[in-house]
Homo-oligomer: A and B are copies of this chain.
């Protein structure tokens, strides 16, 4: 065994007792130094550019993107970094050029993966966050934001259905990292020694998730040293929902081989079909075999805000952890992803390293608000304020109305397409989320008998037939 590394003799004392001072210098050779008129004028000029861009983005008559190939875009502009400073006018030109070739994600005709739009309150909140320019690791550097994270996570846990909103959580840099946190916690819960001794101290662990789940489960397993082959993919039914009987069968199979099932990730809102796994049946199995149940609700978690749709997540309150990304269905600016955890204290125990220079134990306030040591990160970006401020502005019922309306629209599209000549739904039944999955069959292959042949042709024709920007079903136009 490797000898325990010796603690540096007096580091603890040193960290706490002397002062280490960092100097910063905000170059006076440049105008960007302080609150003088020239600087303030510059900021206002940038704001004017941004406001004009926003107005333009919402105008459906403008282009969504002025598209150029990477090499073209590189050649058309001088993006190179120079030794010499540019003038503020040059900087404004750079800002305009950046926006000119950007994609207008707020545009009514913009469609892309899983996030879009630009909420004005969310935007204002993000501008404030940038201005505050701080870090989530301790209460002393982010008193308000730390409290707002506390309040918001508690509210989200209440909505999940954990009693009194008890539990833990963190805002992380995206759903993939939130899912990785969950896997890390599950492993630690079952084998706390893994933190010190690594995977070589534990039996072969296996995780389970549906074949339709997000690739981040495998990515997490690869990173955590579990390995992608130890993520067992469970069959989904025709509509994309995990089949509980197959889950149980595969768990038993794994146990027979001497492996230890430690983690099931159910998906609430799959990436492609928008399917919701049957959480109650899954949780019964997890309880029976004593396995951590995670719900990846990155995409579908927001349906918890809707009284009409939250039944699709029935059983989520039985989960040990839940990923929920307000930057998706709740249209909070990127990025904003929460991991909610039912057990208190586990995150801290799993991740803490007692960094004495940062998390001093002799501070004069309640240290439970220093959240840094439960994170994988050291510094952590402030992602909370935009969600909190939007929630204040809309209220829970505002989010609910927004979600309900989106789901109405997807049903509208479904009804329009399902019996339409030349279209074929990918699976029968109404969409569960806003994903509407269909094939367009060009006339040439519409009546082909050979299914394989047909599929091959479809494969080639569909991407060209459907550049997403040609489809426009935003509320205003429907």
Contact = CB atoms under 8 A, between A and B. Distances in A.
Nearest to A209: B5
A79 to B, nearest CB: 5
A379 B81 contact: no
A391 B33 contact: no
A113 B232 contact: no
Given A95-B389, A426-B18, A127 B128 contact: no
Interface residues of A, number: 226
A216 interface: yes
Interface in A413-429: 413, 426
A378 interface: yes
A31 B436 CA distance: 29
Contacts of A127: 46-47, 50, 127, 130
B21 A436 contact: yes
A459 B17 contact: yes
Interface string A376-414: 111111100100111111111110011001110110010
21 contacts: A16-B463, A21-B413, A29-B398, A32-B120, A33-B120, A34-B58, A49-B128, A67-B143, A73-B143, A73-B147, A99-B131, A103-B140, A103-B143, A174-B380, A176-B376, A176-B378, A198-B204, A198-B221, A200-B227, A216-B353, A216-B378
Contact of A27 (B42, B55, B180, B402): B402
Given A131-B50, A211-B5, A389-B95, A22 B222 contact: no
Given A116-B22, A232-B5, A434-B22, A394 B27 contact: yes
B132 A177 contact: no
Contact of A106 (B83, B126, B133, B435): B133
A142 interface: yes
Number of copies: 2
B103 A409 contact: no
A281 interface: no
Interface stretch (A86-94, A284-292, A308-316, A338-346): A86-94
A115 interface: yes
A233 B8 contact: yes
Contact of A377 (B130, B176, B462, B474): B176
B357 A211 contact: no
Q: Which of A121, A152, A271 has the most CB of B within 10 A?
A: A121
A147 B177 contact: no
Contacts of A176: 376-379
Nearest to A221: B198
Interface string A1-29: 11111111011011111111111111111
A298 to B, nearest CB: 9
Q: Which of A120, A236, A393, A440 has the most CB of B within 10 A?
A: A120
Nearest to A34: B58
